Structure 1
Amino acid sequence: MSAPLATDPVPLLQDLIRIDTTNPPGNESACVTYLEKLLVDAGIEYQVLGPNPERTNLVARIPGRGEAPPLLLHAHSDVVPVTDQQWTHPPFEARIVDGHVWGRGAIDMKGGLAMMLSALFRLIERGERPAGDVVLAVVADEENGSREGAGYLVREHPELFEGIRYAIGEEGGAGIELAGVRFHPIVVAEKRAAWLRLTLRGPGGHGSRLAPPDNPMARLGRILTALSGVRLPRHQMPAADRMLAALAETLPEPLAGHISQLRADTAGDAPPAGIPQAEALQLDSVLRHTVNPTIVRTSDKTNMVPAEITVDVDGRVLPGDFDVADFTAELRALIGDDVPMELLLEGSKVHQDRIVEPEFGAFFDRLESLLREADPDGVPLPMMSPASTDARLFAQLGIRCYGWLPLLLPAGSSYRRMLHCADERVPVDALEFGTRCLTDLLRDYP
Structure 2
Amino acid sequence: MRGSLTITSAVTDPALLDLPWDQPLDEWSNDHIAVLPKGISRHLVRFANLSGHVIAVKETTEVMAKGEYEMLRTLQRMEVPCVEPVAVITNRVDHEGDPLPPALVTRHLKFSLPYRALFSQTLRPDTATRLVDALAVLLVRLHMIGFFWGDVSLSNTLFRRDAGAFAAYLVDAETGQLYTGGLSNGQRENDLEIARVNIAGELMDLEAGGRVADELDPIRISNGIVEAYRLLWKELTGSESFDSSERWRISERVDRLNKLGFDIEELAIRTTDEGSTVRIQPKVVDAGHHQRRLLRLTGLDAEENQARRLLNDLDSYAATYGKNDLDEEMVAHEWLMRVFEPVIRAIPRDLKGKLEPAEVFHQLLEHRWYMAQNAGHDIPLAEAVTSYINDVLRHRRDEATMIDPPTGAFTVPISVISDSDSDDDSTSDSDEDWRLKV
Q: What is the TM-score with the length of structure 1 in the denominator?
A: 0.23
**Structure with the bigger percentage of helix:** 2
Task: Tell me: higher relative CO, structure 1 or 2? Use CA pairs within 8 A at least 6 residues apart.
Answer: 1
**Structure with the bigger percentage of strand:** 1
- Higher Cα radius of gyration: 2
